[in-house]
Amino acid sequence: MRNDRMKIISCLKRAAAYILGVWILALGQRMFVVACFGAGSLDAFCVGLADRTALTAGQWVAVSAFVMMLISAVLLRRKPDFLVLLSSYIFGLFFDFWGGILAEMFGPMGFLMRLIVYFAALLLAPFGTAVYFSSNFSKSAFDEFIMAVKERFNLSVRKAKIIVDVIFCILAFVVGGPLGPATVITAALFGPILQGFMEIHYKARLRKKLEASIHVK
């Protein structure tokens, strides 16, 4: 009975970390758009499509996720993993949510304010990713697509991500998405910042386990 209760509590904690992480990630990614220095490749593509169609950017995230899931399945020659749609669908909902909130909070901004918003996003987005990764739930369709390209063509994760980013940057350019210098800067800095947050999280968990072990003794 006690073990079942602990498993339920652990599952609820993971679910909370998962939702919170995606929520923070969506805030950071939306702030990149608001800063107007250039959004991420996938976000720029979805925002560009939203400006041209009746669907919202979040809805286009969901549509793109479905397409990426199918392509990943073809590349890996296996059945589609529908679980990867969960992260993308939740992200799309939060992306639209923050779009409405930030539109009311920020009007026309000067260069300095845009810079502050951008650097805040550069911290929030990797932090949110680290939190949602820590839950060990399913990856997003975008992450799954990167891994599929990596495995299919025997590439490093870094090279696979560059290829996927270039593909979506081209698509974003075609549909008039908000690309800019920060698109490249963010792509270069996102990984190292994410790694830093992941290491902090790992050390915190290690310290917590050590303290628990000492307490038991």
Interatomic CA distance for residues 137 and 14, integer angstroms: 8
User: Domain containing 56: what range?
Assistant: 2-128+136-216
The pLDDT of residue 203: 78
C-alpha separations of 158 from 57, 99, 115, 127 in Å: 26, 29, 27, 19
C-alpha separations of 217 from 3, 73, 95, 169, 204 in Å: 20, 49, 46, 55, 20
pTM above 0.95, yes or no: no
Whether the CB-CB separation of 80 and 73 falls below 8 Å is answered with: yes
- List per-residue pLDDT tens for the chain, 217 residues long: 666 777 787 788 888 888 999 999 999 999 999 999 999 899 999 999 999 999 999 999 999 999 999 999 999 999 988 888 888 889 999 999 999 899 888 877 889 999 999 999 999 999 998 898 888 777 789 888 988 999 999 988 778 888 999 999 999 999 999 999 999 898 888 888 888 888 887 777 767 665 555 554 5
The pLDDT of residue 81: 84
Mutual orientation of helices 181-216 and 41-52 as an angle, nearest 10°? 120
- For the chain, how many structural domains are there in total? 1
